[in-house]
Structure 1
Amino acid sequence: MTRTQFHHYIPRFILKTFADNFCDTNSELITDTSSPDSLGYHINVYRVEDHTTNPTDVSRAYGAEDMYRDVTEDDCMKFEKLLAKHECTSATFIRRIWKEEDELSLTRGQLADMKKFLVVMMYRSEHRRS
């Protein structure tokens, strides 16, 4: 049996840019996250139900448990793995856009990954779970 996994419907690489301790110059934390005592990335999350704003670690914000689990597949996390591949390619290119690089180019394969990622992003939400 596969253990549960938290899936984000807003990718972490985007959420991290809203954290107070995000360093834009190198896209990394100012603190060391390898330490168990590290602070991690925290963002303020507005909760519509009770009209409150709470600091939340990015690792647990805007997502749900096993959102992409497909029990009909032998590898129930197959979709999540495919999505992670497209997200990785897209995140690299999006960061280059954010850094305002003069020369931006994608191979056909990278462009295809980016298009797939953007299509999936349009439908990602907590309410689209099946």
Structure 2
Amino acid sequence: MDDAAVLYDKAFRNLTGIPAQSVHQQIHEYVSVPSAEGSPAIQTPWGDEFAPVIKAGVRCAEAWLEGSSLPLWWALSQNRKRHRQGDPQEAFEAGFLLRLQQTLIMRREAVTSQSTRFDA
């Protein structure tokens, strides 16, 4: 996953014309969405300056997962507006969607493992 984040970052920088020397940052400088429900942390292509925005996205997704009555699209669209357009909004979305991805994958795996235990 770390390699994918670096490749994404490199492709993005090539498309936008950002100098290549900044691509060679160490992996540890990138922000990760922390592990959840047994799922490993997920590396993002954003640097430490976006950590608060990514964490806000993660918290927003967790609030929705805990039983919010709001539709998912509304929680995402309304909360992303609290951040500046461009990279800050995209970093928020990454935190939000990666937390959902982690949770959905782990819950799917839990259901799959339960169904195979009963089938045996």
The TM-score with structure 1 as length reference comes to 0.26
Relative to its length, the structure with more strand (as a share) is: 1
Relative to its length, the structure with more helix (as a share) is: 2
